[in-house]
Structure 1
Amino acid sequence: MRERRYPSDMSDAEWAVVRPLLPVPGWLRGRGGQLEVYCHRAILDAIRYLVDNGTKWRAIPADFPPWDRVYACFRRWRDHGLVREFHDRLRRRVREQAGRDPEPSAGVIDSQSVKADAVVGHDSRGFDGGKLLNGRKRHVVVDTLGLLLGVLVTSADIGDRAAAHALLARVAAAHHRLALVWADGGYTGSLVEYCLAALALVLAIVKRSDDVRGFVVLPKRWIVKRFIAHLMRSRRLVRDFERSTGSAEAVVYWSATMLMTRRLAQPRPSRV
């Protein structure tokens, strides 16, 4: 048990959901390695604090484990795909709680350009001429509940169609039931034929009508826009502070896990 001090800390209800879904350490499976010194809950709360508040690693509050131990866990989970594994387990649990199949059959794709901090090297940053922004671009695919299926971080000068080739191939390989993905007009052209021929995936373009004036909610596209808006509530994601694109993708996954643990911990309404 750990006393809850910060809004980003897991409640006891969240920890009860999270604990059985955590990846099992190698030493518990007889694969060797050192015993872990610090509580998993304290380590996860420290990472959540950093993602939610946008602080520096060295500025993590002293009541958490030492910052270098927290970063070592973040790096290990990033490099071995454990954060994605943990995230996917949570997503399946959320979908089951909502009465859906654990694996999605439809999704929505979009991208978001953000400014890059000075620590981001020139090899992974670029200029987005449409947004007039120097930084990186996050390409995301979500399901119809707005839960993350995949993320790809590139320099901001990479086009949506070029990044979608790699991202949709990755998502389609991980989710075999996926048959339909909605997208905006930036994904037209040869990408539609590629998805159908190579991935057995229908890419449906949702366009804004020329007759409509002012703001209008477009079918399905609002789902991914809502997810991107959620990312902006995590201060670490308001700007890209990560030295590598792998770390940038990991932070997106951590932000998405916070959304799902809170959702799972909420009491379900009783059915009359």
Structure 2
Amino acid sequence: MTARRAYPSEISDARWALIAPTLLAWQKTRLDRRPTGEPARTDVREVFNAILYVNRTGIAWKYLPHDFPPHTTVYYYYAAWRDEGLLAQLNVDLTDLARVKAGRDAQPTAAVVDTQSVKTSTNPPTATQGTDAAKKIVGRKRSVVTDTLGLLLAVIVMAASATENTAGIQALEQVKATHPTVTKTWVDAGFKTKFVEHAATLGIDAEVVPRNTNVRGFHVVKRRWVVERTLGWLMLHRRLVRDYETLPASSEAMIHIAMIDNVSRRITEESTPTWRGTY
């Protein structure tokens, strides 16, 4: 790691110790394919710090500070890790560690599902966007599945016009593939019979938890508050406040990066800095 002044988004030595084996193993595999045997020229930790900087601040890749590796290099690594599923797998591995640290089994048995519609920028092609008529948002819909601690188990990004059933079913199938032990899930009233029936075919009992109609305004809803808090965590990362990504896969990768940041801090017991009081 080069000697320079650190940015608030950067990863600590303790957190890097959790992430380094995966990323360095990936880099070594790439280097072993080189017929010249040439050593690595890029510091993977600096690349990951740059990705965290983009994720946290919301800047475009071209606006990366010059003391990071070139933005083309950083994006190359990011795109490779995205396409090869490395970021998603890293999130799964860290989630298992965080659950064990919290005194839970590594594999969850219950999940909470929710969706979030966000506006898009001018980058995404119109074919990947849609209109959420209920929320009056033109953009994309994130279907997020967490465990009962609020840790990410799966995420699917689709056009905002997709129904909760369509988005939720795909996310639930992803959960079952990576966490076959899940047998229970809670959802809001936007998920209909089709979702519940499909969950049953996967061996998952889906329980719809409606809001209390006798209470006006905000109130905590049983189980559902967990995933809603996770969506709040994601909003600390400015790249996720609006969907800037050309590919839905990049949108999903940015969510995985945000949760890798969050979960690694949980494991090492480091606090997450907020924007409040930093100026």
TM-score grouping bracket, smaller chain normalisation: over 0.9
CA shift at 1:213, angstroms?
Answer: 2.9
Partner Cα separation in structure 2 for residue 12 and residue 230 of structure 1: 23
Q: Do the aligned residues in 2 keep the contact of 1:114 with 1:238 (CA within 8 Å)?
A: yes
> Which residue in the other structure is 2:164 paired with?
160
Point out the more displaced range, 48-57 or 203-212: 203-212
Q: Is the 8 A contact 1:9 1:49 kept in 2?
A: yes
1:181 aligns with 2:185: yes
**Contact conserved, 1:22 with 1:86, CA < 8 A, in 2?**
no
Within a 5 Å distance, the mapping from 1:1-272 to structure 2 comes to 1-2=1-2, 3=4, 5-22=6-23, 24-25=25-26, 27-28=28-29, 32-33=33-34, 35-196=39-200, 198-266=201-269
Read off the aligned partner of 1:76 and give its amino acid letter. A
Give me the whole-angstrom Cα distance separating, in 2, the residues matched to 1:23 and 1:190: 43
**Residue deviations 1:134-191 (CA, integer Å, cap 9, x gap):** 1111110000110000000001111111111211112112111100010000112222
Change (3 A) 1:138 1:4: farther
Aligned pair in 2 of structure 1 residues 120, 29: CA closer, same or farther (>3 Å)?
closer
Q: How far apart, in 1, do the equivalents of 2:245 and 2:199 lie? A: 31
- RMSD, aligned CA: 1.7
Where does residue 276 of structure 2 map in the other structure? Answer: none
Report the AA paired with residue 116 of structure 1.
T
The one-letter code sitting in structure 1 at the alignment partner of 2:225 is W
Q: Could you state the TM-score of these two structures normalised by the residue count of structure 1?
A: 0.93
SS in 1 for 2:90: helix
Aligned partners of 2:39, 2:152: CA distance in 1, in Å?
32
Change (3 A) 1:170 1:28: closer
Cα deviation for residue 26 of structure 1 reads 6.0
SS at 1:113 equivalent: strand
**Stretch of structure 1 that moved more, 202-211 or 130-139:** 202-211
Q: Match of 1:218, as an amino acid?
A: V
Aligned residues: 266
Residue identity opposite 1:203 in structure 2: A
Give the Cα–Cα distance (whole angstroms) in 1 for the partners of residues 195 and 260 of structure 2.
30
Provide structure 1 residue ranges, at least 5 long, that are not aligned to the other structure.
268-272
